[in-house]
Structure 1
Amino acid sequence: MPLLYLVIVAIVQGITEFLPISSSGHLVLLPALTGHVDQGLLIDVAAHVGTLAAVVLFFWADVRAAVAGIPSLLRGRIHDQGAWLTLCLIIATIPVIIAGLILKVTGLSDLMRSVALIGWTSIIFGILLWVLDQRGAEVRTAPEWTLKHALIMGMWQMLALVPGTSRSGITITGGRGLGYTRTDAARLSMLMSIPTIIASATLLSLDLISAPSEAVIRDAAVVAILSLLSALVALKLMFRLLKSVSFTPYVVYRLILGAGLLIWAYT
């Protein structure tokens, strides 16, 4: 696969995975816009691994606390913040895993990869993000995350299985609707991505039956590294911007993208 195309795939995945503009939607559109064949499952898995590494590095303090809390959680003791965070992340991940398995078994996931659908979801969920971001109070912070709120945000996350919705966008929308501050809603959304990306990459890996060639492995390594770097840049940019601006710039981008896709799809 051409190196330039691999670079584009990695950058698109890395940037859009954590910005509320839908990584899956962009990756579905990429082959159609560039004229290349679909990059394949191994490249998709590699891109997910790269973005997973980025969010782990960016939120290393939270990840370390969550991992340290696992032994206490296994013993049924939730006396520290790390164990509580781990439990909340598990609760938040269960809904999307169940929904993802249902879509995969029924084959419905393949029926949703259309340009028109991505256009509509970009617009609809972009507007929803703007409404809840503008109207939502900022009265809660990440350490106040409860099991009830984790489950609610997990239910929101299920909608991300529809291309164009944006996993980060829809979970941030849910967090803002629950009254979490912009930065803390984004922080919880990013932490929720860790078990979700692991589950997604594992599910995709199950479809890799034959052993890939050396060239494909090399391509995957390039994509993973570049996805890692571009995701780190995207995370730093978003959290820096959230100190002074709302999510409105991302909503505007979604509206423009969605309108363009609908024009393309219907003409």
Structure 2
Amino acid sequence: MLWYHIVFLALIQGVTEFLPVSSSAHLILPSQVLGWPDQGLAFDVAVHVGTLVAVIGYFWRDIFSILSGWCHSLRTGEKSDNSRLGWWVIIATIPAVLFGLVFNHYIEDNLRTINVIAFTTIVFGVLLWLSDRYFSSSKKLNELRLPSVVVIGIAQAMALIPGTSRSGVTMTAARFMGFTRDAAARFSFLLSIPIILAAGSLKIFELVTVYKLVNVDWHSMLWGIVLSGVSAFACIHLFLKWLNKVGFLPFMLYRLVLGGFLIFLVNMG
């Protein structure tokens, strides 16, 4: 890749991983729309590592509290908000893992197209806005219960379809369940940690076992980690800071414009 490919793709991954606009769609589009070379597995690993470091770095206090409470509950049987949240993250992750194991190859071979991305970008953008506009939202993060967690987990599994947006669909589900914007966003970000870790680990395993680390551009990987990590950290901070002020309408409008542009490209082709 050329240097501006590296910079653009790393920044795009860092920014879109946690915004409700679909990072997978934005990483697919440059190669299909602009004719850029595919960034390759090694670079995918790098930007996943960068975003993982960012979200862990931003929420390290919450993560420490959750892990401490969860481990304490295993030893003593005493339950707390943190121990429950630890279990909720685990439970909500299971559907995505199972869905990925069963359908990942089919999705990779058949659904990474502009048509699919355009459709999911528009539909799930509208659903995000509807959940934010018309459903009550008074529940806090400590009010999460198993039925809501299962719904959010199933929604997260749908994000394997390009254009859906993992963060977007989990926030949508949480808003439909009556949670505040802040609670929906924070739970979505916490859910991203095991998912990104699992996806990154799978890619690293494939990189090591299948490609034997041959022709890996370590310089590009390093820049991918740094740029995606810094941009993701800034994105999380600004998103949580501004979310209650701006809501999800701007993201819905962006998705409508992007989806319409993609439909235009398909028709022009």
TM-score (norm 2): 0.94
Using the TM superposition, give the Cα deviation of residue 79 of structure 1 relative to its aligned residue in structure 2, in angstroms.
1.9
CA RMSD after TM alignment: 1.6
Give the total of aligned pairs. 266
1:244/1:217 Cα in 2 relative to 1: closer, same or farther (>3 Å)? same
1:79/1:252 Cα in 2 relative to 1: closer, same or farther (>3 Å)? same
Q: Map 1:103-118; keep pairs closer than 5 Å.
A: 103-104=103-104, 106-118=105-117
Distance (whole Å) between structure 1 residues aligned to residue 257 and residue 55 of structure 2: 28
Q: CA-to-partner distance for each residue in 1:195-222, whole Å, 9 max, x for gaps?
A: 1111111222232123325751221121
For the pair 1:135 / 2:138, whether they are aligned, the reply is no
Q: CA-to-partner distance for each residue in 1:211-262, whole Å, 9 max, x for gaps?
A: 3257512211210111010111211221122131210001000000000001
Q: Which amino acid aligns with 2:107?
A: L
Using the TM superposition, give the Cα deviation of residue 108 of structure 1 relative to its aligned residue in structure 2, in angstroms.
3.4
C-alpha contact (below 8 Å) 2:14/2:230 kept by paired residues: yes
Distance (whole Å) between structure 2 residues aligned to residue 164 and residue 138 of structure 1: 26
C-alpha contact (below 8 Å) 1:156/1:170 kept by paired residues: yes
Distance (whole Å) between structure 2 residues aligned to residue 78 and residue 203 of structure 1: 34
Distance (whole Å) between structure 2 residues aligned to residue 231 and residue 51 of structure 1: 6
Distance (whole Å) between structure 1 residues aligned to residue 218 and residue 73 of structure 2: 37
TM-score (norm 1): 0.94
Distance (whole Å) between structure 2 residues aligned to residue 73 and residue 218 of structure 1: 44
For the pair 1:11 / 2:11, whether they are aligned, the reply is yes
Which residue of the partner structure matches residue 228 of structure 2?
Answer: 227
Using the TM superposition, give the Cα deviation of residue 97 of structure 1 relative to its aligned residue in structure 2, in angstroms.
0.2
Q: Which amino acid aligns with 1:228?
A: G
For the pair 1:89 / 2:111, whether they are aligned, the reply is no
- Matched residue SS, 1:107: helix
Which residue of the partner structure matches residue 22 of structure 2?
Answer: 22
C-alpha contact (below 8 Å) 1:138/1:181 kept by paired residues: yes
**Identity across the alignment (%):** 39
Distance (whole Å) between structure 2 residues aligned to residue 235 and residue 71 of structure 1: 27
Q: CA-to-partner distance for each residue in 1:58-100, whole Å, 9 max, x for gaps?
A: 2222111122234235447252333221111000000000000
Which residue of the partner structure matches residue 256 of structure 1?
Answer: 257
Distance (whole Å) between structure 2 residues aligned to residue 54 and residue 25 of structure 1: 21
Distance (whole Å) between structure 2 residues aligned to residue 183 and residue 149 of structure 1: 16
Which residue of the partner structure matches residue 52 of structure 1?
Answer: 52
For the pair 1:122 / 2:113, whether they are aligned, the reply is no
Unaligned segments of structure 2, at least 5 residues: none
Which residue of the partner structure matches residue 67 of structure 2?
Answer: 67
C-alpha contact (below 8 Å) 2:42/2:216 kept by paired residues: no
C-alpha contact (below 8 Å) 2:171/2:184 kept by paired residues: yes
Distance (whole Å) between structure 2 residues aligned to residue 187 and residue 26 of structure 1: 23
Unaligned segments of structure 1, at least 5 residues: none
C-alpha contact (below 8 Å) 1:51/1:231 kept by paired residues: yes
Using the TM superposition, give the Cα deviation of residue 110 of structure 1 relative to its aligned residue in structure 2, in angstroms.
2.0
C-alpha contact (below 8 Å) 2:148/2:177 kept by paired residues: yes
